[in-house]
Amino acid sequence: MVRKLAAEFIGTAWLVLGGCGSAVLAAAFPQLGIGFAGVALAFGLTVLTMAYAIGHVSGCHLNPAVSVGLWAGGRFRSAELVPYIVAQVLGAIAGAAVLYAIASGKAGFDVHAGFASNGFGEHSPGGYSLAAGFACEVAMTFGFLFVILGATHGSAPKGFAPIAIGLCLTLIHLISIPVTSCIA
């Protein structure tokens, strides 16, 4: 169990660094920045690579919503749910701390300027409402779990789940970054 939790901790920290790090450090450079598409790809590629790296150890959930969804779908043991969520939250905090240490090393850094945060209204890149943001996040989470459950089913083609899951997360970010920033 310790090995599984360590994998989830490291994987979640890496997801924060890969995804949120791309948004904070690489997205906004005029003429050179990676923009929304680059951030979406960073999230998808991070999950894809971590799925191959730790999927065989922990399942590579990297997100409490995924763990809860797998539990609700009968694909994850109840006894492991809370420890996984704790490891994921601690990993996210560790990843955010490393990202903060890097980002704050730039002159003029201001954490209050929206340090990889979600939002609605004036905090939404497209100015979307709370209701639109909520609908988007629920729909995207449902779609993500649907793909995860399908791609990891015993009847699914073997060895390809990380590709489907990583591409799905990329698609989700392409759709929802303009709505809520989809950083969570």
Instruction: Average the pLDDT over 48-60 and give the result.
Output: 97
pLDDT-based confidence at residue 117 (cuts at 50, 70, 90): confident
Task: Give the model confidence (pLDDT) of 3-46 as tens digits.
Answer: 999 999 999 999 999 999 999 998 878 788 899 999 999 999 99
pLDDT at 184: 53
Percent above pLDDT 90 for the chain: 80
Mean pLDDT of the chain: 93
> Where exactly are the structural domains of the chain?
2-180
DSSP single-letter state for residue 109? -
Q: How many CB atoms lie within 10 A of CB 156?
A: 13
The string of DSSP codes covering 138-150 is HHHHHHHHHHHHH
Backbone angles phi, psi at 128, to 5 degrees: -75, 150
By CB neighbour count within 10 A (0-12 exposed, 13-18 middle, 19+ buried), where does 57 fall? Answer: middle
Average pLDDT over residues 118-124: 86
**What's the pLDDT score for residue 33?**
83
pTM greater than 0.75: yes
Q: Which fold has domain 2-180?
A: Glycerol uptake facilitator protein (1.20.1080)
Per-residue pLDDT, averaged over 82-103, amounts to 97
- Backbone angles phi and psi of 34, in degrees to 5: -85, -15
Residues 128-168 pLDDT 10s: 999 999 999 999 999 999 999 999 999 999 999 999 999 99
